[in-house]
């Protein structure tokens, strides 16, 4: 058979593609730091049997309808809310993602964000850069303890469990809320299952690790922040769409909660004029949860393995539907 044609929507290292070059013909967008434009993606996709896409590419019913020859889309992420999964199923197109390989790396970043927010590290760093460190005083840049506090994890998937393991190293009490209970995690970590309201009222740190769905869109809003402790810190390392950012900014400004750390936003990228960036008690990162060199390479390889298994093996390794 002719080698399947794969279009890649962002420039990737050729060294990662080389081991697969005898089985695929690759075409690739020529820029690493700029998403492919919609017209270019549509044009190139019409020549392809499969795609490797990023979260920046919105794959909807119309796009899939105009590409009936496509067989598989390998999404370079755990999340896949950029792809209309029901439409893909309707058009008999397989969609895969990259779970597991980024779990520990994302958990590292999530816990680092929690600590940076609690101990006001970014604020302290900025203060020195602005020549604001003039004298020591007992409560100078005093933050919040992490050890022996209560962490509430909303969404106890692979990453949630990995964050919980890190929390236990700080002697934290671990609460979680999930669509289904995790008896083994409760035993091994240990962790305690509670309803959502209990988690909000009891936790010193509320960590969102839930996917973006119609049910979770804007879940963390004014009413939810009011239920949290006034000393609580909110962390979002899942999807920006689950947070009402205006309500979060209001909660931070008015002392409803103490702080927030975010790696994701409802619209990305954000600029320096974003409301939350004006607040000292908000730590904002540019969606770098899985951004280590090794993990990103592993994610690319899993995308390629999914394509290889689909075209030449027993089916994709990590299908999402």
Active-site positions?
239, 268, 287
Query: Residue 315 — φ and ψ, nearest 5°?
Result: 120, 165
Q: What are residue 151's DSSP bridge partners?
A: 174, 205
Q: How does 53-90 read in b/e, with b if 16+ C-beta sit within 10 Å?
A: bebebebeeebbeebeebbbbbbbbbbbbbbbeebbee
Q: Cβ atoms within 10 A of the Cβ of 99, count? A: 18
Cβ-contact 209, 237 below 8 angstroms: yes
CA dist 228 → 221, 237, 248, 284, 309 (Å): 11, 18, 12, 20, 46
**210: Cβ contacts below 8 Å, ≥ 6 apart:** 154, 155, 216, 219, 238, 239, 242
- CA 51/CA 211 separation, integer angstroms: 23
Q: What is the distance between the alpha carbons of residues 275 and 245, in angstroms, rounded to a whole number? A: 8
């Amino acid at each position: 058979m002719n080698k399947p044609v794969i279009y890649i929507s962002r420039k990737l290292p050729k060294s990662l593609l080389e081991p697969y070059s005898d089985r695929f013909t690759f075409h690739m967008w020529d820029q690493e730091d700029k998403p492919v434009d919609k017209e270019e993606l549509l044009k190139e996709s019409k020549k392809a049997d499969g795609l490797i896409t990023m979260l920046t590419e919105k794959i909807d019913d119309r796009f899939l309808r105009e590409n009936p020859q496509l067989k598989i889309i390998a999404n370079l992420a755990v999340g896949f809310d950029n792809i209309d999964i029901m439409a893909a199923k309707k058009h008999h197109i397989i969609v895969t993602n990259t779970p597991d390989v980024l779990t520990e790396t994302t958990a590292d970043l999530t816990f680092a964000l929690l600590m940076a927010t609690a101990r006001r590290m970014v604020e302290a760093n900025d203060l020195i850069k602005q020549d604001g460190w003039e004298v020591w005083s007992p409560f100078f840049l005093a933050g919040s303890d992490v050890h022996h506090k209560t962490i509430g994890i909303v969404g106890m998937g692979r990453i949630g469990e990995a964050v919980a393991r890190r929390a236990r190293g700080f002697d934290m009490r671990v609460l979680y809320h999930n669509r289904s209970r995790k008896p083994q995690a409760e035993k091994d970590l240990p962790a305690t299952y509670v309803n959502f309201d209990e988690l909000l009222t009891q936790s010193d740190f509320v960590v969102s690790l839930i996917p973006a769905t119609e049910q979770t869109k804007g879940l963390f809003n004014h009413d939810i922040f009011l239920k949290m402790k006034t000393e609580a810190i909110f962390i979002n390392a899942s999807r920006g769409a689950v947070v009402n950012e205006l309500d979060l900014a209001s909660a931070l400004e008015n002392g409803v909660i103490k702080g927030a750390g975010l790696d994701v936003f409802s619209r990305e990228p954000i600029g320096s004029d974003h409301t939350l960036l004006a607040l000292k008690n908000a730590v904002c990162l540019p969606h770098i949860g899985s951004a280590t060199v090794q993990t990103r390479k592993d994610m690319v390889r899993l995308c390629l393995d999914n394509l290889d298994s689909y075209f030449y093996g027993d089916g994709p390794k990590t299908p999402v539907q």
